[in-house]
């Protein structure tokens, strides 16, 4: 039988409801404790009457105090503390006067308490109202801190999304310039069929990049299909000089990764491995699932020792352009410290290794 999942609403999300709930529950508890305490000490049921009047007085006075505190709360600290203390003193005198009157009138008739007896009552009521005021300010400061924390989290989220968008949109101008330049060359050479084919594939690739969210995620399978679309465009430029291979573990095909994560790595391989060699180079993409991790490698057979390498401090030599640094920054934004990004340059190739947590839409459901 399917269960109905109820959304849990934070208690202080509706501040007005929370105030009336706590106010009513607190003074109801005060009434019960004081009334039951009096009855337990053998003072009789008549003691309930002055206790009810005292509770109603406290309830009403604290409502007036809360209205004043709402104004004092946003003032300077000196005004807030000074006004609050003065208000508690005045309310304590009023509270004690009404409480002693109700006690003397409805429970034990006689002269009103005076002197030390009245002062003791005032001090007890003062302590009660100080506790109520401290709770009021404490809850409001807690709500204020939570609101500021939520606002900070929203700002950080917006900043992170903006940075991810900036990092991803950095990639398109480089690729777009090269492709349009190739199309222009084909048009000048009157190779219109190849120019039209390249333009058609370029429009399909750009349509994907415009539709997908910059900070969004796609599955490995979707990323590989997009990468193949990109490589189809590049193969029209380099023909047999660009040779590609893919080895994707079916267990990793549904893993989520940042969209267009692999495109700058392949673009980097084309730039530094395929372009400078007359015979071109091989580019291999491998994706494996190893337990709860996804292991991705992009390698080429170009002059790896000239391509650039990890500088040992988390950066790269200037020869690699923005591709590797861009990918590194996107991984840091998406996974924090829970990822691995390494490069290895050798005499016969260059390899980029990425390791990220395995996440999929099924595991998040």
pLDDT digits (tens, 9 = 90+) for 318-342: 344 567 887 888 888 889 899 999 9
The answer on pLDDT for 59 being more than 60 is yes
Which residue, among 329, 359, 8, has the nearest Cα to 168 in the 3D structure?
A: 329
Q: How far apart are the first and last CA of the chain?
A: 18
- Structural domains of the chain in order of their starting residue, each with its CATH number: 11-160 (no CATH), 170-364 (3.30.565.10)
Burial class (CB in 10 A: 0-12, 13-18, 19+), 151: exposed
Distance of CA 343 to the CA centre of its chain: 30
| E strand map for 268-362 | 281-290, 293-300, 340-346, 349-357
CA distances from 23 to 56, 62, 200 (A): 12, 9, 69
**287 within 8 A of 251, measured Cβ to Cβ:** no
The answer on pLDDT for 210 being more than 80 is no
**Which phi-psi region, left, alpha or beta, contains residue 321 (left: φ > 0; alpha: ψ -120 to 50)?**
left
Residue with the bigger pLDDT between 87 and 321: it is 87
Which residue, among 349, 322, 352, 326, has the nearest Cα to 340 in the 3D structure?
A: 352
Most confident region among 74-83, 117-126, 306-315 by mean pLDDT:
74-83
**What would the mean pLDDT of 194-212 be, rounded to a whole number?**
77
3-state secondary structure of 155: helix
- Distance (Å, rounded) from C-alpha 30 to C-alpha 34? 6
The whole-number pLDDT of residue 8 equals 57
Percentage above 70 pLDDT, the chain? 78
The whole-number pLDDT of residue 257 equals 92
The reported pTM is: 0.52
**Which phi-psi region, left, alpha or beta, contains residue 115 (left: φ > 0; alpha: ψ -120 to 50)?**
left
Distance of CA 147 to the CA centre of its chain: 14
Residue that the structure tokens 């399909």 belong to: 204
Q: What is the band of 39 on the pLDDT scale with cuts at 50, 70, 90?
A: confident
**104 within 8 A of 47, measured Cβ to Cβ:** no
- pLDDT tens sequence across 280-307: 899 999 999 999 999 999 999 988 654 4
**118 within 8 A of 89, measured Cβ to Cβ:** no
- Distance (Å, rounded) from C-alpha 62 to C-alpha 27? 10
The answer on pLDDT for 161 being more than 80 is no
The whole-number pLDDT of residue 317 equals 38
């Amino acid at each position: 039988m399917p269960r109905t999942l109820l959304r849990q609403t934070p208690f202080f999300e509706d501040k007005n409801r929370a105030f009336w709930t706590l106010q009513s529950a607190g003074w109801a508890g005060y009434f019960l404790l004081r009334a039951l305490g009096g009855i337990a000490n053998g003072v009789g049921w008549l003691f309930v009457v002055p206790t009810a009047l005292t509770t109603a007085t406290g309830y009403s006075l604290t409502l007036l105090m809360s209205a004043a505190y709402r104004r004092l709360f946003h003032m300077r600290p000196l005004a807030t503390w000074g006004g609050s203390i003065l208000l508690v003193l005045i309310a304590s005198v009023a509270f004690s006067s009404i409480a002693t009157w109700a006690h003397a009138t409805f429970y034990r008739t006689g002269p009103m308490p005076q002197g030390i007896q009245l002062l003791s009552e005032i001090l007890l009521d003062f302590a009660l109202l100080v506790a109520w005021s401290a709770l009021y300010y404490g809850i409001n400061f807690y709500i204020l801190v939570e609101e500021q924390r939520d606002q900070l989290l929203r700002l950080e989220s917006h900043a992170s999304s903006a940075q991810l968008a900036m990092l991803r949109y950095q990639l398109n101008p480089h690729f777009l310039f090269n492709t349009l330049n190739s199309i222009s060359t084909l048009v000048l050479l009157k190779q219109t069929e190849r120019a039209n084919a390249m333009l058609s594939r370029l429009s399909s690739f750009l349509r994907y990049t415009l539709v997908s969210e910059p900070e969004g995620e796609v599955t490995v399978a979707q990323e590989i299909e997009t990468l193949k679309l990109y490589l189809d465009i590049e193969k029209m430029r380099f023909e047999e000089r660009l040779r590609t291979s893919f080895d994707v573990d079916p267990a990793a095909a549904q893993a989520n990764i940042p969209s267009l994560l692999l495109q700058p790595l392949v673009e980097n391989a084309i730039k530094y491995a395929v372009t400078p060699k007359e015979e071109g180079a091989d580019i291999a993409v491998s994706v494996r699932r190893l337990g709860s991790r996804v292991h991705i490698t992009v390698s080429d057979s170009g002059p790896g020792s000239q391509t650039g390498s990890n500088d040992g401090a988390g950066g790269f030599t200037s020869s690699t352009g923005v591709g590797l640094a861009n990918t590194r920054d996107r991984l840091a934004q998406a996974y924090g410290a829970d990822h691995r990004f390494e490069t290895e340059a050798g005499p016969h190739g260059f390899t980029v290794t990425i390791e990220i947590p395995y996440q999929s839409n099924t595991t998040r459901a």
